[in-house]
Structure 1
Amino acid sequence: MTEITTELVKELRDKTGVSVMQCKKALEETGGDIEKATALLLEKSAEIAGKKSDRTLGAGTIGSYVHSTGTVGVMVELLCETDFVAKNEEFKALARDIAMHVSATDPKFLKSEDAGADSDPESVLLNQPFIKNPEVTIINLVQSATQKFGEKIEVSRFVRFSISQ
């Protein structure tokens, strides 16, 4: 078994964004294997998000991104349960990161249910690999945020504008 060092915990925390204690526990459960610990944390995030799925969303933020060329702009509505989380800088950064992702990937649908059976799975925002870390999907990112903030978090809608050239 690998010794669980602070460097190993920090690496996992940087990679996943979850708390130090959750990272340490995941590393202990997986014998110090960072890949298995990452997978375990993603699995736990999905489980926690499932338990919170029936909660009411009463707050949120609008994340926006305009590409440096000024020809593409995106707005994303990211909802949560309380204004305490909605005002959190990390929550706002998540909304902006998702908006930047939408700018780069141009998804056509939010959820799989919105897309038809013959639609390309890559056209669904929540199923896409995140541009800043292709090892996780957008839904994994949202589930990790649910775990981190302890509240149900959901991307409710997005809009992408572009100037055709």
Structure 2
Amino acid sequence: MSVNISAQTVKDLREKTGAGMMDCKKALADNNGDIEKALESLRQKGLATANKKSGRTATEGIIESYIHTGGKIGVMLELNCETDFVARRSEFQNLAKDIAMQIAASSDVEYISTNDIPNDIVEKEKKIEAGREDLANKPEAIRNKIVQGRIEKRLKEISLMDQFYIKNQDITIEELVKQNIALLGENIKIKRFTRFILGEGTVKEEKNFADEIKQILNK
């Protein structure tokens, strides 16, 4: 017996996954209208598609900028795809905007993925965690396991791809990119990004208010 699937349910699934309308409708039909099962099915499909395309060269794309309200935080991002045709599509451009906004909102993020984090940074974090007082009296095997778990958590905190998407906390940025790979049919790569924070790196001169008043009166 066929299940009656409403247009609103299809629309809700599309907003959650970024998949095409027909793909959403088929996923719902295949899963008897269960939106959670359909969502999981589309995620698996997107992951499989993305993995197949991940080795393909992506040199087209756009450079996107985002300035946060108030003008104190800015981001520049290079997002690559395979063809200029996809680079001009609204879905790809919206993805670039959303990722740039995510970077602005993620103050701890410094790298695209955990694979990009230099070994010296990893070793430094290991040394910090291994030296914490709460581990001092634990057996070595347990201590090493705890340190490894903390390190993995810390590296994910500074990795963009491991951040939960601010517009949909059910998925990470990595999953968001893979969904768009499945949607657009091309490999998509976050090439690089830079975050600008107003006044960052500038040493602010501290002045004593009383001394300033004295200087004014002595002029």
Name the TM tier (shorter chain).
over 0.9
Q: AA paired with 1:75? A: M
Cα distance in 2 for partners of 1:137, 1:30 equals 24
Correspondence for 2:45: 44
Deviation at 1:6, TM superposition (A): 2.0
Cα distance in 2 for partners of 1:90, 1:120 equals 29
Cα distance in 2 for partners of 1:8, 1:69 equals 37
Cα distance in 1 for partners of 2:54, 2:190 equals 13
2:193 matches 1:158:
yes
Correspondence for 1:113: 115
Cα distance in 2 for partners of 1:37, 1:2 equals 13
Cα distance in 1 for partners of 2:112, 2:187 equals 17
Deviation at 1:75, TM superposition (A): 0.9
Considering only CA atoms, is the larger Rg found in Structure 1 or Structure 2?
A: 2
2:199 matches 1:143:
no
Cα distance in 1 for partners of 2:90, 2:4 equals 34
Give the number of equivalent residue pairs.
165
Question: What 5-or-longer segments of structure 2 have no aligned partner?
Answer: 127-150, 201-219
Deviation at 1:2, TM superposition (A): 4.9
Normalised by the length of structure 1, the TM-score is 0.92
Q: When you count strand as a share of all residues, which structure comes out higher?
A: 1
SS in 1 for 2:187: coil
* Structure 1 ranges of 4+ moved more than 4 A: none
Percentage identity across paired residues of the two chains: 44
Question: What 5-or-longer segments of structure 1 have no aligned partner?
Answer: none
SS in 1 for 2:102: helix
SS in 2 for 1:155: strand
SS in 2 for 1:120: helix
- CA RMSD in angstroms comes to 1.7
Q: When you count helix as a share of all residues, which structure comes out higher?
A: 2
Deviation at 1:81, TM superposition (A): 0.3
